[in-house]
Amino acid sequence: MAKNKQKQPPTDNKFQAIISHCKEYGFIFPSSEIYDGLQAVYDYGQMGSELKKNIKDYWWKSMTQLADENIVGIDAAIFMHPTTWKASGHVDNFNDPMIDNKDSKKRYRVDHLIEEYAAALSAEGKENEAAALLASMETLLAKDDFTGLKKMIDDNKMQCAVSHTCNWTEIRQFNLMFSTEFGTAVSSEEGNNIVYLRPETAQGIFVNFLNVQKTGRLKIPFGIAQIGKAFRNEIVARQFVFRMREFEQMEMQFFVRPGTQKEWYEKWKAKRMQWHESLGMPAAKYRFHDHVKLAHYADAACDIEYEFPIGFKELEGIHSRTDFDLQQHQQYSKKKMQYFDNDLNPETGKPYGNYIPYVIETSIGLDRMFLAVISQAYEEQDLSLPAGEAGTEEKKDSRVVLKLPPVLAPIKLAVLPLTKKDGLPAIAEEIIQACKPHFRCFYEEKDSIGKRYRRMDALGTPYCVTVDHQTKEDQTVTIRHRDSMEQERVPIDSLREIVMAGL
């Protein structure tokens, strides 16, 4: 047996290796690459779009069809009336503090600049100093104390990574929304044809709250889920698909009776963590991070962080958004956003009556989930056979395998005829015809079986079957399991069931 040693590259190299792997195997390409790409914009290729779609489907099914709560889905437009963003607070508050280096002209997000400096301190063994710095940064950010933050940058002589100087501008706020123009006026205000590309999908849910509630005859508590594109003019967009200017969110707004939001917030924290674990993602790679500085709409908020190869980073947000958004839309649109609750309040013996519901939001970045899944799955394995006692030489071998959860794998079954002749391709074709209505199959007849297995490992295909001459005799094939590389002989008739069992 080959020795199956895991030889993981150091984290930085692992991240680079994953980026290269995504490009080489058709998962992710830089956008418009023939024109040298567009910063922080990416295209999903033939394998990536399948994996991404499978993540979406898994989320959608568990958040709607399988949820214990009553949750329905919608698909709202990206463009919304501009007043939406005034009401939501994004026009006035969706800002990041930025600082520019006067020599290199490079712009930094202030928290990123300080975090990188703290990471460098930690790398030098000064963990306590780094932790203290980050704690005071959080406090200063929470107070929007730009003078204090600037002093921190100056006192610590934080340098620009390009010019290596400390020649900084003052700190300024920068709005993250992209805007564009409609051909006609959309409002009575100045600049009346300006519309925004939505920076979050949530507002499409809020403005449709009563449409959905009334037409669906939904009773509180209930949820509305949505998957869709969001756009943010990230100043420091980097780290591959972790921070992009165009990305996808999978969001769910859960409408509850005022006063019950704390209880639902805790429930959704637990439920969302269980969702990640249900995919086989290890609990040790996750943690909660409570927000110190709450967004303008929240009374409690936390991130679910995952340990990416670049460290623990935000993957999902759980926010107790109060009744802020619905109140604001009621005020700006002058349309009632109230719900009538005819359940009896046990304290008064009367119906709860009219109120604006409170909202718990779960918001996960689809692209970040993609990155988490692929980072978790990526393994470089050394399969070399040591030199034998009988004098045989060491046999070098290795593989890259994506140990994707089968339900997410782009291809579930590869069907490989041993040769291109003797009627073996026709049998392979029959297997594909029988299986393809149920899951994605792949046919490959080129190269040696060993090379074809390696290619399927790199794509994360959980099963390969080889059709050989024995198949013609007894209607059996060899099935090879991706993770263990074990092989067994099974009847063709059992293939569908074997593959479906893992989905």
CA distances to 83, 401, 498 from 486, rounded to whole Å, are 60, 14, 14
Q: Is 315 in the site for ligand GAP (CB under 6 A)?
A: yes
Nearer to ligand GAP, 370 or 442 (CB): 370
The answer to whether the CB of 160 falls within 8 A of the CB of 101 is yes
Minimum separation from the CB atom of position 21 to ligand GAP (A): 20
Q: Is 213 in the site for ligand GAP (CB under 6 A)?
A: no
Q: Is 103 in the site for ligand GAP (CB under 6 A)?
A: no
Nearer to ligand GAP, 359 or 428 (CB): 359
Q: Quick one: which of 181, 175, 187 has its CA closest to 81?
A: 187
Nearer to ligand GAP, 50 or 251 (CB): 251
Contacting residue, 63, 153, 244, 499, with ligand GAP by CB under 6 A: 244
Nearer to ligand GAP, 205 or 492 (CB): 205
User: Pattern of binders to ligand GAP over 267-306, x per CB under 6 A?
Assistant: ----------------------------------------
Nearer to ligand GAP, 368 or 480 (CB): 368
Q: Using DSSP bridges, classify how beta strands 441-443 and 413-417 pair: parallel, antiparallel or unpaired.
A: parallel
Nearer to ligand GAP, 22 or 364 (CB): 364
Nearer to ligand GAP, 99 or 202 (CB): 202
Minimum separation from the CB atom of position 441 to ligand GAP (A): 32
Q: Is 314 in the site for ligand GAP (CB under 6 A)?
A: yes
Q: Which stretch binds ligand GAP (CB under 6 A): 8-16, 71-79, 244-252, 485-493?
A: 244-252
Q: Which amino acid is at 479?
A: I
The answer to whether the CB of 416 falls within 8 A of the CB of 432 is no
The answer to whether the CB of 168 falls within 8 A of the CB of 150 is yes
H or E element that contains 25? none
Total Cβ atoms within 10 A of residue 122 = 15
Q: Using DSSP bridges, classify how beta strands 194-197 and 178-181 pair: parallel, antiparallel or unpaired.
A: antiparallel
Minimum separation from the CB atom of position 273 to ligand GAP (A): 14
Backbone angles phi, psi at 116, to 5 degrees: -65, -40
Rounded CA separation 307/301 (Å): 19
How is residue 433 written in tokens? 């015809």
The answer to whether the CB of 330 falls within 8 A of the CB of 336 is yes
User: Pattern of binders to ligand GAP over 348-377, x per CB under 6 A?
Assistant: -------------x-xxx-xx---------
Nearer to ligand GAP, 232 or 276 (CB): 232
User: Pattern of binders to ligand GAP over 172-211, x per CB under 6 A?
Assistant: ----------------------------x-x---------
The answer to whether the CB of 180 falls within 8 A of the CB of 198 is no
Minimum separation from the CB atom of position 63 to ligand GAP (A): 15
Q: Is 243 in the site for ligand GAP (CB under 6 A)?
A: yes
The answer to whether the CB of 408 falls within 8 A of the CB of 373 is yes
Q: Which stretch binds ligand GAP (CB under 6 A): 29-37, 182-190, 309-317, 344-352?
A: 309-317
Q: List CB contacts of 371: < 8 A, sequence separation 6 or more.
A: 18, 240, 241, 242, 308
Nearer to ligand GAP, 94 or 442 (CB): 94
How is residue 68 written in tokens? 């214990």
Minimum separation from the CB atom of position 249 to ligand GAP (A): 5
Minimum separation from the CB atom of position 315 to ligand GAP (A): 6
Q: Is 325 in the site for ligand GAP (CB under 6 A)?
A: no
Nearer to ligand GAP, 55 or 315 (CB): 315
What are the strands, taking DSSP E only, across 257-310?
A: 286-290, 300-308
Backbone angles phi, psi at 492, to 5 degrees: -55, -40
Give rounded-to-5 percent helix, strand, coil for the chain: 35, 25, 35
Among positions 417-436, residues that touch ligand GAP (CB under 6 A) are none
Nearer to ligand GAP, 50 or 96 (CB): 96
Q: What residue is closest to ligand GAP based on CB? A: 365
Q: Quick one: which of 458, 456, 385 has its CA closest to 466?
A: 456
Q: What are 280-288's contacts with CB under 8 Å, separation 24+?
A: 280/405, 281/306, 281/372, 281/373, 281/376, 282/376, 285/376, 287/312
Minimum separation from the CB atom of position 200 to ligand GAP (A): 4
Nearer to ligand GAP, 244 or 424 (CB): 244
Rounded CA separation 269/393 (Å): 55
Q: Is 405 in the site for ligand GAP (CB under 6 A)?
A: no
Q: Quick one: which of 482, 428, 424 has its CA closest to 453?
A: 482
Q: Which stretch binds ligand GAP (CB under 6 A): 3-11, 54-62, 216-224, 311-319?
A: 311-319
Cα pseudo-dihedral 457, 463, 468, 470, rounded to 10: 140
DSSP state of 10: P
Q: Which stretch binds ligand GAP (CB under 6 A): 22-30, 100-108, 312-320, 411-419?
A: 312-320
Nearer to ligand GAP, 145 or 314 (CB): 314
Q: Is 50 in the site for ligand GAP (CB under 6 A)?
A: no
Q: By the criterion CB under 6 A, which residues form the site for ligand GAP?
A: 200, 202, 232, 234, 243-244, 247, 249, 251, 314-317, 361, 363-365, 367-368
